[in-house]
Amino acid sequence: MKYILLLSLFFTISACRKETGADTVPADVTREKNSEATDITSGQDDRKVPTNEAVDISLWDFNGDGESDDRITVPVIEGSGNPVEDGIPGKFTITFDNKTLPDLAVGCCNPMPIGEGDLNGDGAAELSVFQSPMNGCVYTMTTYTFRNGKWKQLFEPFNVPTGCDEISAEELQSLVYKEGDKVYIMVTDVNDEDFKRTAKEVKL
């Protein structure tokens, strides 16, 4: 009887552990490369990135239907050599599980999708794409809006010099933001050794 009770207790603990593991939700944002999806929130990428679990679902509702569109993949056509030395750059395209959203071709290189929430007041979120250059450490930030069935740039892209330092998820999310009825971008002072950023209003 004693052994039966011990076995019952063991299986109860094991079941609890399995149920706890089942509640773990994998991050939805993935990058596909050579037909193998790599989780860009898993630490395998060399940059810190925001996880979907850390942001409000409204940040990722790009078509305004009340549902999150955060399941994003970025297939890549592999380049070869150094793009700035007659090499062929890779071509990246952001795709969505929600097929009402068309693919968004973003070119080279290594795009990072960032849900911004509703910046222009149209009832849907905007999507920013943070991208590394073909060479060097000056990244670009481009913000898109989904309008009339197409992706369009909301305002002019801007550069984000990093000095080749890692940029955190919080910094990425703060590069574009809305305060009241105004939208701001964080502009980098390239003459400052710490690459100090200041807010600049953009007109939509």
Q: Distance between CA 189 and CA 160 in Å, rounded?
A: 10
Residue 146 lies in a domain: yes
Provide the domain count of the chain. 1
Instruction: Identify which of 56, 201, 29 has the alpha carbon closest to the alpha carbon of residue 130.
Output: 29
Q: Distance between CA 111 and CA 105 in Å, rounded?
A: 10
> Using H for helix, E for strand and C for coil, what is the string for 69-129?
CCCEECCEECCECCHHHCCECCEEEEEECCCCCCCEEEECCCCEEEEEECCCCCCCCEEEE
**Which run of H or of E encompasses 13?**
helix 2-22
Q: Distance between CA 156 and CA 141 in Å, rounded?
A: 9
Using DSSP bridges, classify how beta strands 104-107 and 126-131 pair: parallel, antiparallel or unpaired.
unpaired
What is the pTM for the complete model shown?
0.70
187 by DSSP, 3-state: which? strand
pLDDT in tens, the chain (204 residues): 433 333 343 333 333 333 333 332 223 343 333 333 333 322 223 333 333 333 444 799 999 999 888 788 888 777 666 655 666 767 899 999 898 999 999 988 889 999 999 999 999 999 999 999 988 999 999 999 999 999 999 999 999 999 888 889 899 999 999 999 999 999 999 888 888 999 999 999
Residue 69 lies in a domain: yes
Which pLDDT value is given to residue 84?
58
* Neighbouring-strand partners of residue 140: 131, 159
Q: Distance between CA 181 and CA 126 in Å, rounded?
A: 15
Residue 11 lies in a domain: no
Residue 14 lies in a domain: no
Residue 21 lies in a domain: no
Residue 47 lies in a domain: yes
- Give the structural domain span for 117: 26-202
Residue 17 lies in a domain: no
Residue 122 lies in a domain: yes
43 by DSSP, 3-state: which? coil
Phi and psi, residue 7, nearest 5°: -65, -40
Q: Are 91 and 108 in contact (CB under 8 A)?
A: yes
